[in-house]
Amino acid sequence: MKASWDIFCTAVDNFGDVGVTFRLARQLVAEHDMKVRLWVDDLSAFVRLCPGADAKAELQWHDGVQVCFWPGDWQPAEPADVVIEAFACRLPPAYIEAMKARNPRPLWLNLEYLSAEEWVTGCHGLPSLQSSGIQKFFFFPGFRPSTGGLLREAGLIDRRHAFEQNPTARQAFLADLGIYPQADARLISLFAYEHAGLGSWLDCLAHSQAHSSVQDAQPTHLLVPEGRIISDVERWLGVDGLRAGAVHVRGDLTIQVLPFVRQKDYDLLLWCCAFNVVRGEDSFVRGQWAGRPLIWHIYEQDDDAHWAKLDAFLELYLAGLSEDAGQSLTQVWRNWNAGQDMTQSWSALEKHRDELTRHAERWCLERALQDDLTTALVQFYRNWI
């Protein structure tokens, strides 16, 4: 008999939480034959990730997942065998009471945000007895073997390698999005939050010969999915109302605005690029599976806790890089996340293109040796039964 799973997700001000939980739900169904309900309190965010979804439907099915609207006025629902409280959201009190009355009681998991901090390894999998009398277990995604791992579908890396070796497939995908780069252009994707120093980076790309000390300076085709960074791009271009399909050329830089693509297409977009700027959690992980150098625009927290998370990841990621390349990458990431001028740090980073590309692929393959997050969750449930 299939185990049933309820995943609860609140959409805050971005798409990352919904993106992670929908990936998880799809994989539970497709690869582990589970029965999954995904409860989302704001379906408008879900619609952006899943074309064909209905923002007003109380119940709908997508990729085998039962997607349910999580209303403020909660209606009774039978709890599942496994209940996931994603990213510190709070279950409806009436649902917790139903969990308490259920026999046997469900496995209650708090799926935490991704972090490379070492303390995570000591907290992963620990139980906490709640006032309801039910134990809740804390499950931490992570980069170390002693954590829950990262979301990764079966065969993902092999599919990427096959795509990379098929120029026709790459060209067809880009053409479907209306992307026709120059033959010698470097593709870069830009999916980021607002960034006060973005103009200095765009200046570097627009004047690659002047800002680069490498001999193979080349034109850049920058692909910008619609999102929060658009206003900064508009400011640099001196235009208003950028929409999907817009193309602007400044010197060595072509900027093209793309529609907000579905998750599967976003993977292909990352695979087409030589460098990716990613944000939050979901696109950050997908950027790593792309095996390309990247900048991580981490989600800013009021207490500056994001800096500790950024530094903890860099401490792991820099292992195996030369000292110069590691210092250059660190400075670019710190400047980007502080909204500072990018001119000098980006120019220094450009000297290490080849080394960073080799390192990104190596890092990807090493992380792929660890069980993926979904498999780890299923195994945790089976061990708990």
Dist CA 272 CA 269 (whole Å): 5
Active site residue 281: yes
Q: What's the 3-state SS for 65-95?
A: EEEEECCCCCCCCCCCCEEEEECCCCCCHHH
Q: Which two tokens stand for residue 41?
A: 């309190």
**How long is the chain?**
385
Phi and psi torsions of 106, nearest 5°: -75, 165
Active site residue 17: yes
At residue 100, what is the residue type?
Answer: K
Q: Which two tokens stand for residue 287?
A: 């950027």
CA-only gyration radius of the chain, Å = 22
> How far are the Cα atoms of 94, 97, 183, 251, 363 from residue 136, in angstroms, in the given order?
17, 14, 54, 56, 33
Give the single-character DSSP code of 180.
Answer: -
Task: Return the sign of the alpha-carbon dihedral for residues 212, 220, 298, 153.
Answer: negative
SS3 content of the chain, % helix, strand, coil (to 5): 40, 20, 40
Dihedral-angle region of residue 73 (phi above 0 means left; psi in -120 to 50 means alpha; beta otherwise): beta
Dist CA 158 CA 58 (whole Å): 37
Q: Are 306 and 135 in contact (CB under 8 A)?
A: no
**Angle at alpha carbon of residue 129, lines to 123 and 130, rounded to 5°:** 115
Task: Return the sign of the alpha-carbon dihedral for residues 83, 264, 17, 369.
Answer: positive
Q: Which two tokens stand for residue 80?
A: 């599942």
Among candidate residues 267, 281, 350, 372, the one labeled active-site is 281
Among candidate residues 6, 17, 267, 282, the one labeled active-site is 17
**Angle at alpha carbon of residue 363, lines to 357 and 364, rounded to 5°:** 90
Give the residue numbers annotated as catalytic, written as ranges. Answer: 17, 281
